[in-house]
Amino acid sequence: MNLLTALARLLLFPGLLFAVPAAWFFLWVERKAVALMQGRIGPPFMQPFYDFVKLLGKTTPPRTGIGGLLMRLWPLLAVSAAAGAVGMLPVLPASGGFEGDLILLLALLELPSVCIIAAGFTSRSIFSEIGSAREAALSVSYNIVFLLAIVSIAAAQHTFRLEALATMPASPLLWLGIAALLVCLPARLHLNPFSLPNAEQEIYSGPMIEYAGPELALWELSHGLEWVAATGLVATLLAPHITLWWMAVLLFIALSFLLVLLLSTLAAATARLAIDTTVRFYWQCSLLFAVLAISSALLMRLRS
């Protein structure tokens, strides 16, 4: 992949020109779906954009020293990482890439969570620190399942190249890996029943409680871009290989939208779990997935 192609993917599609409006749209779909499930009207279509613009016009609390600099750095780093992850998604046919780009994508997907943890501890608020501690425990728990799923899918194709994974034929390991990724998405996106780090009824807004103004707007944008990147990764694995670029784009958008609806419906239909229950759930999922993945790999090897 040359420099021009990389810049086009990062800035145009599926990069910022597509990802930022899609992030606001997915945030609206989430809020609207939850509202309809609860018998409410919900926000108007442009509300996430209006919230972003309103926060940009507000003032930020004065902060001095290295702590204040870090507080401003974490949301910028989170937005950059999430945007980079979206730009790497192999949506278009023959979109290029490089060997091992899946590893870079996983690092970029995880960086916003690391920034949230660091931001909570940097603010020195007891509520932020509790939220960051929950985020750290949750991240360790679901990432075991998430990484096992990705490694299993990559092992089935014998490559860590995203374009090759997106065009791989259906196999038991692929469907098992996609199911494991779907189990991890609610925790990665802070949705019920795994919305522990930002439980408003317990710790207000968790790691975000000390943020306001443009910094909070960047955190909201980062969360929306995580929606696009996380659902987009699953959508590229689910979608069959299509040579026509416009059909590939439409299928990618449709699958991502359906995943947002599915996750939002699940969030509205469930209650928040306790931290010990959540950790236990993902450790049990890790054991179950490891057994199933090994069994599927042995079965595929015997058949070949």
**How far is it, in rounded angstroms, from Cα 232 to Cα 245?**
16
Would you tell me the crossing angle of helices 213-238 and 172-188 to the nearest 10 degrees?
170
- Looking at residue 230, its pLDDT comes to 95
CA distance 151 to 146: 9
The pLDDT assigned to 25 comes to 96
Q: Which helix (H) or strand (E) holds 285?
A: helix 275-303
Specify the pLDDT at position 83: 93
Helix, strand, coil tally for the chain in percent (to 5): 75, 0, 25
* Residue whose entry in the numeric block shows the structure tokens 């597509």: 18
Tell me what pLDDT residue 171 has: 76
Q: Any idea where the domains of the chain sit in the sequence? A: 3-303
Q: What is the mean pLDDT of each run of 10 residues along the chain (304 residues)?
A: 70 86 95 90 93 90 83 94 91 72 91 93 85 88 88 82 81 84 91 76 71 91 95 91 84 94 90 84 84 72 65
CA nearest neighbour of 197 among 115, 101, 253: 115
In the prediction, which pLDDT does 93 show? Answer: 67
Say whether pTM exceeds 0.85. Answer: yes
